[in-house]
Amino acid sequence: MSARGLKVGAVVLTMGNRPAELRALLESVAKQDGDPIEVVIVGNGAPLPELHVPGLAVRTVELPENVGIPAGRNVGIEAFGPAGRDVDVLLFLDDDGLLPNQDTAELCRRAFEADPKLGIISFRIADPDTGVTQRRHVPRLRASDPMRSSRVTTFLGGANAVRTRVFADAGCLPDEFFYAHEETDLAWRALDAGWMIDYRADMVLHHPTTAPSRHAVYHRMVARNRVWLARRNLPALLVPVYLGVWMLLTLARKPSMPALRAWFGGFKEGWTTPCGPRRPMKWRTVWRLTRLGRPPVI
């Protein structure tokens, strides 16, 4: 199969409150080089506006309630058949993002064709006005140079491309998480199944600079899902090490007292509530993560 033969689809999750940004994103998808991209728009507990974009096939799914980010994106995956099998690659794009370059989809096709073990590509997120990429948007520990592409151990949820065979091998995103760390959960399972993940600085999504703490549930969800992530995926010996390190890092960042209370509430919730099935990664996957520069204790 040639690179141009890889069939690409896209999933966009929206709450219906950014119609102008959503239309701009769709127009940027319509301009992509190569074969046309079919797009599924998932309205997460919100009605969708009219979304006719010349040259772009758009399907819509309206959910009656907000089911969270991972569950909403999973609905988009299943719209392309079980585990997305009707296409070879799925792009996941934030509804307020935009693809500034017309060759991004074609670069994805070429990358997946060139490397049969490449399962996920994380795009570089850049502010549309300043061009700046925040450190937190570079999915590795050595994040000072966002222009350097590399193998990584996780990816960015609203700016990525996934080979759909990854979903068949590793499963989809964890519905239970609702928001935060769902990408790392999938990334660890994908790596455990033998896939690799790349961060590509030349594949860009424009996105306004924002702070994750703008979400009211941020501190609770981050803590709860961190515990769930460990309980679901790590060998038993590493669970207390991983969570202990993250507790120390959280305290070192000196969050406000309300934030800290929310964090510890979420941490407790992570231990006392069901987290979904436990499938600890193999020790050889622990070693792979370590060789890639991010052992699963941090």
User: Structural domain boundaries of the chain?
Assistant: 3-210, 214-291
pLDDT-derived band at 2 (thresholds 50, 70, 90) equals very low
φ/ψ of 196, rounded to 5, equals: -115, 160
Burial of 291 (0-12, 13-18, 19+ CB in 10 A): exposed
Q: 214 vs 84, which has greater pLDDT?
A: 84
Q: Distance between CA atoms of 241 and 67, rounded to whole angstroms?
A: 32
For residue 56, pLDDT over 80 is answered with yes
Q: What percent of the chain has pLDDT over 90?
A: 93
Q: Return the percentage of the chain with pLDDT > 70, whole number.
A: 97
Output the pLDDT for position 210: 78
- What pLDDT, on the 0 to 100 scale, is given for residue 216? 59
Please, how many CA atoms are within 13 Å of residue 169, restricted to the half-sphere of its CB? Answer: 18
Question: Could you tell me the pTM of the whole model?
Answer: 0.95
Mean pLDDT of 179-201: 98
User: So what's the pLDDT on residue 209?
Assistant: 87
What's the pLDDT at 73? 98
Q: How far apart are CA 191 and CA 291, in angstroms?
A: 12
Q: Is a pLDDT exceeding 70 seen at residue 139? A: yes
Q: For position 8, what pLDDT does the model report?
A: 98
How many Å apart are CA 149 and CA 145, to the nearest integer? 9
The pLDDT value recorded for residue 241 is: 98
- Mean pLDDT over residues 184-212, rounded? 95
Mean pLDDT for all residues in the chain = 95
* Predicted pLDDT at 298: 85
Q: Which of 94, 205, 108, 114 is nearest to 163 (CA)?
A: 108
Determine the average pLDDT of the residues in 77-92.
98
Q: What is the pLDDT of residues 93-103, one digit of tens each?
A: 999 999 999 99
State the Cα–Cα distance between residues 44 and 62, nearest whole angstrom.
7
Res 91 pLDDT > 60: yes
**164 with 172: CB under 8 angstroms?**
no
Residue range 200-240, pLDDT digits in tens: 999 999 999 877 755 558 999 999 999 999 999 999 999 99
Mean of pLDDT values over 38-57: 93
The whole-number pLDDT of residue 246 equals 96
pLDDT bin (cut points 50, 70, 90) of residue 277 is very high
Q: What is the pLDDT of residue 213?
A: 58
| Residue-level pLDDT at 214 | 52
3-state secondary structure the chain: CCHHHCCEEEEEEECCCCHHHHHHHHHHHHCCCCCCCEEEEEEECCCCCCCCCCCCEEEEEEECCCCCHHHHHHHHHHCCCHHHCCCCEEEEECCCCECCCCCHHHHHHHHHHHCCCEEEEEEEEECCCCCCCCHHHCCCCCCCCCCCCEEECCCCCCEEEEECHHHHHHCCCCHHHCCCCHHHHHHHHHHHCCCEEEEEEEEEEECCCCCHHHCCCHHHHHHHHHHHHHHHHCCHHHHHHHHHHHHHHHHHCCCCHHHHHHHHHHHHHHHHCCCCCCCCCCHHHHHHHHHCCCCCCC
Q: Does the pLDDT value for residue 1 go beyond 50?
A: no
Which CATH number, 3.30.2320.30, 1.10.10.370, 3.40.50.620, 3.90.550.10, labels domain 3-210? 3.90.550.10
Asked if residue 10 lies in contact with residue 91, where contact means CB atoms within 8 angstroms, the answer is yes
Q: What is the pLDDT of residue 50?
A: 85
Contact between 244 and 142 under an 8 Å Cβ cutoff? The reply is no
Give the angle 219-220-224 at the CA atoms, nearest 5°: 120
Per-residue pLDDT tens digits for 9-34: 999 999 999 999 999 999 999 999 99
